[in-house]
Amino acid sequence: MDDHRVAPVDPAGPRTEAEEVRRFRERLGLPGLIDVHTHFMPERVLHKVWDYFDALGPMTGGLEWPITYRQEEAERADILRAFGVRAFTAMLYPHKPGMARWLNGWAVDFARRTPDCLHTATLFPEPGVEAYVREAVEAGARVFKAHVQVGAYDPADELLQPAWGLLAEAGIPVVIHCGSGPAPGKHTGPEPIARVLARHPRLRLVVAHMGMPEYEEFFGLAERYGEVRLDTTMAFTDFTETFMPFPRRALPRLAALGDRVLLGTDFPNLPYPYVHQLHALERLDLGEDWLRAVCHDNAVELFRAVKVAAVRLTRSMMRAWVLPLLLVLCGSAVAAGLISAGNAGAATAVLLLFLVLAGVNSPLIFPRSISAPEAQRRSAVDGRPVVYWRPGCTYCMRLRIRLGRGARRLHWVDIWRDPAGAAVVRAANDGNETVPTVVVAGRPHTNPDPEWVREQISSSP
């Protein structure tokens, strides 16, 4: 790679910089830093991004932007470790359709070989987005990245609604570059984000770059929505202060939001040494408690909550198979006993009986489940009821069997697989997850008579 621009990095290199970062940590008594905004992506893509900065692409707002850390991937991760960064992210983002799924595949691999990187995934408004977002969540993604300016899409795009719903219910944070700095885009600024939050008020958006230059408008959203956070990436630095200064009058609000501000840096794509971001935070003079929360504690808290939610999700998906598996095991044991007693005929009959029982009790006999937002969308189009169910529920099984072949004409949502579906059921049943809950023309009916449901299908087109 030809290095045609020389970065203004300390001539002694990251080694002495690590020393400075260590001193910053020691002043605060922090065991380490957590950086929620660092870029790791396939080398080919990252080099393209660097070329773009070198060519003063529109993303830089025409500014000279010398990248400070151009080392190879493994070396870059080691620099962060030398800085005492205990956890970081792989902020990757697509600029066109068909790219997000591929990036997510790379990210699974990267997270596997980089245990201190929080498994990161991304998304784009395109058909199939909900499916690959779900796949990424099931594969262990702990944070998502969205780039409204580079992607040039409206974050409130209809195609993204099911994905936002899913991420909101799963409690997974989304670091979103949505401010109009350093360069505005067609859909940047607080207004499209306000529309997303109006529909998904629990969505854990982390507004990148403190929302610069619309700092105060994004503060307003964070003050209104308790799950909205902001990352510090590039904010308050000499570089940014020259053209998007942080308004001094907003300092008290920044102090008050101290439990929802997270350290982010844009490493390695920063036009100054890493430690400058830390000093820029320090010179805000908001106190050591504020700094400790921002540089470490807030992220620990956030990702602990994400982990708890993820474990709950995996457990609920697994428990669907416990009963059918037990039935298969029991049947096999009884059949083995009968065979050793020389009764092969009875063994076959018993085994078949248990297999049927296992099948009926497994999610397999139900039509393929879709997400709640998708089911609602389809139901709005074809007028057919939505059935919220869960595996192992006798009343759900009864409904499924009594509906016979007509079952396929309904929209089925497994609430153990779909947190948004579980939320719909709780809302309809005073907080209880009572199933089956059948929604006909927007009205929920808890455990309705299967005959009545049949009539609803025949009366719908």
> How far apart are the C-alpha atoms of 154 and 160, rounded to whole Å?
9
In whole angstroms, how close is the CB of 402 to Zn ion at the nearest point? 54
The position carrying tokens 């809950």 is 437
> How far apart are the C-alpha atoms of 45 and 57, rounded to whole Å?
15
> How far apart are the C-alpha atoms of 439 and 461, rounded to whole Å?
16
* Count of chain residues binding Zn ion (CB under 5 A): 1
Of 277 and 361, nearer to Zn ion (C-beta) is 277
Helix (H, G, I), strand (E, B) or coil at 454: helix
CA dihedral 142, 148, 149, 152 (to 10 degrees): 130
Cα angle for residues 106, 110, 116 (degrees, 5° grid):
150
Cα angle for residues 61, 278, 110 (degrees, 5° grid):
75
In whole angstroms, how close is the CB of 197 to Zn ion at the nearest point? 21
Of 214 and 266, nearer to Zn ion (C-beta) is 266
* Rounded alpha-carbon distances, angstroms, from residue 33 to 183, 234, 282, 292: 28, 16, 14, 9
- Radius of gyration over alpha carbons of the chain, in Å? 26
In whole angstroms, how close is the CB of 39 to Zn ion at the nearest point? 6
Using CB under 5 A as the binding rule, the residues of this chain from 262 to 301 that contact Zn ion are: 266
Of 150 and 163, nearer to Zn ion (C-beta) is 150
Of 266 and 414, nearer to Zn ion (C-beta) is 266
In whole angstroms, how close is the CB of 102 to Zn ion at the nearest point? 19
In whole angstroms, how close is the CB of 80 to Zn ion at the nearest point? 15
Of 91 and 435, nearer to Zn ion (C-beta) is 91
In whole angstroms, how close is the CB of 114 to Zn ion at the nearest point? 18
Site string for Zn ion, 249-268 (x = CB under 5 A): -----------------x--
Cβ burial of 381 (10 Å; 0-12, 13-18, 19+) is: exposed
In whole angstroms, how close is the CB of 2 to Zn ion at the nearest point? 24
> How far apart are the C-alpha atoms of 69 and 267, rounded to whole Å?
8
Q: Where are the alpha helices (DSSP H) in 139-175?
A: 148-151, 161-170
Of 48 and 199, nearer to Zn ion (C-beta) is 48
Of 64 and 285, nearer to Zn ion (C-beta) is 64
In whole angstroms, how close is the CB of 271 to Zn ion at the nearest point? 12
Helix (H, G, I), strand (E, B) or coil at 343: coil
Element (H, E) at 389: strand 386-389
Residue whose Cβ sits closest to Zn ion: 266
The position carrying tokens 């101290």 is 258
In whole angstroms, how close is the CB of 286 to Zn ion at the nearest point? 23
Of 277 and 437, nearer to Zn ion (C-beta) is 277
State the pairing for strand pair 229-231/261-262.
parallel
Of 230 and 403, nearer to Zn ion (C-beta) is 230
The answer to whether 169 contacts Zn ion (rule: CB under 5 A) is: no
> How far apart are the C-alpha atoms of 303 and 142, rounded to whole Å?
7
**Contact of 120 with 56, CB cutoff 8 Å:** no
**Contact of 192 with 178, CB cutoff 8 Å:** yes
Of 66 and 367, nearer to Zn ion (C-beta) is 66
In whole angstroms, how close is the CB of 266 to Zn ion at the nearest point? 4
Binding positions for Zn ion, rule: CB under 5 A:
266
